[in-house]
Amino acid sequence: MYSLLKELFPICRSITGDGVRESLGIIGRRIPLRVTEVPSGTRCFDWTVPDEWNISSASITDSKGRKTVDFADNNLHVVNYSEPFSGTLEREELMPHLHSIPSQPDVIPYVTTYYKRRWGFCLRHKDLLKLKKGKYKVEIKSSLKPGSLTFADAVIPGRTKKEIVISSYLCHPSLANDSISGVVVATHLYKYLKARKDNYYSYRFIFVPETIGAIAYLKMHKEHFLKNVYAGLVLTCLGDSGPFNYKKTRQGDHSLDRICANVLKHSGHPYSLREFWLPGSDERQYSSPGFNIPVGSLMRSVYGEFKEYHTSDDDLNFVKEKHLEETLQMYKSVIDAVESDFHYINLNPFCELHLSKYGLGSNPFKQEDPNRYFRKILTLLNFSDGKHSLCEIADKLDVPVLELAEFAKTLEQKKLMRRS
């Protein structure tokens, strides 16, 4: 996974432009993507797709000809969506265009100006303090003109048309954990689901620029979403060493919330469950009241809460392969659990089954304390009345839903239970 992260990291992305296209090209070499261009000026609900932004270079040069700030060193140095500019300014005139974080003097902040025409630079506060009185030559070679917004998707059909959306966003420039880690895990999750046989749900993978991209996507697929999308997950901030955090859906008690809680509880990793809140990422759009789609977000450290967030310290050192791998495993478990969480019906509901008749007198999968085993199998059979989901029964037993899924599958194969 780290190789994809490394390939995507240096590219200067934004909500529109060639950086997004190049990034989608890289992902598209790994999984099949359908790329869509939405022209500037397109109305999407209350929003309008802005002019397309591209940039080739930007720098500030002092009176001795030294480049004091150079976009070529780090693409965070330019305020994202800066309009083109060329001129010579006194330090005092330049200052209002400079952004730094005094409390974090060693990092470059990430600043954007998508919907307000202006220009600016971001730099380490310690470097800002070094700017002496005098003239500075400022050059920003960018373009802001009608073009398009680019997004991509990929669908894996399942046995039902009901879809689960896996959404990640691709608009941040060189930031590793926020944005790109989600894209990387989503790409690998696609491969997992593609190889996984007999998926019940269909899966829709969405790679969009955050906010405006999700809004444009929803505008284009409104009827489809209202009809077919069952639930979703937004993938971001997945590669740091922090504990897991699950942001619940707007509904708060959806089966996806129950499943994520069950998987996390039995994973052995530290974790927290959080109620849905605003703002956030693209769950804001999917869960807007008109769509009201249950979309959660399973993260590591939460955006806005780690000190590296939206700074140059959110880099390739901050994200580790080990953490990406752990997170991918967690998502695979969540998907496996979602794919197992049926409502079953016990086909012999009058009194208990004579378990030994069916080779179920002891745990068929592992050696286990008989009392513990009987509690599980009898509880599963008892509550398999079509009204309780497998995860609800697992929670009654305080066992992993995937553990109970093995029993359910066996009972189904022996024609003792069926899916309702």
Residues that bind Zn ion (CB under 5 A): 178
Distance CA 151, CA 93 (A): 38
Distance CA 122, CA 74 (A): 10
AA letter at 275: E
The token duo for 400 is 């992993």
Measuring CA to CA, how many Å separate 300 from each of 229, 246, 265? 25, 8, 15
CA angle, 100 as apex, 96 and 106 as ends, to 5°?
Answer: 155
How far apart are CB 236 and Zn ion at their closest, in Å? 8
How far apart are CB 228 and Zn ion at their closest, in Å? 29
Which residue, 153 or 178, has its beta carbon nearer to Zn ion?
A: 178
Which residue, 310 or 388, has its beta carbon nearer to Zn ion?
A: 310
CA angle, 156 as apex, 257 and 45 as ends, to 5°?
Answer: 70
Distance CA 12, CA 142 (A): 12
How far apart are CB 310 and Zn ion at their closest, in Å? 6
Which residue, 306 or 407, has its beta carbon nearer to Zn ion?
A: 306
Distance CA 274, CA 293 (A): 18
How many other β-carbons are positioned within 10 Å of the β-carbon of residue 208?
27
Alpha helices, DSSP H, located in 270-320: 283-286
How far apart are CB 401 and Zn ion at their closest, in Å? 32
Q: Which residues contact 103 (CB under 8 A, 6 or more apart)?
A: none
How far apart are CB 348 and Zn ion at their closest, in Å? 54
How far apart are CB 110 and Zn ion at their closest, in Å? 7
How far apart are CB 309 and Zn ion at their closest, in Å? 7
Which residue, judged by CB position, is nearest to Zn ion in the bound state? Answer: 178
Half-sphere exposure of 28 (CA within 13 A, CB side): 14
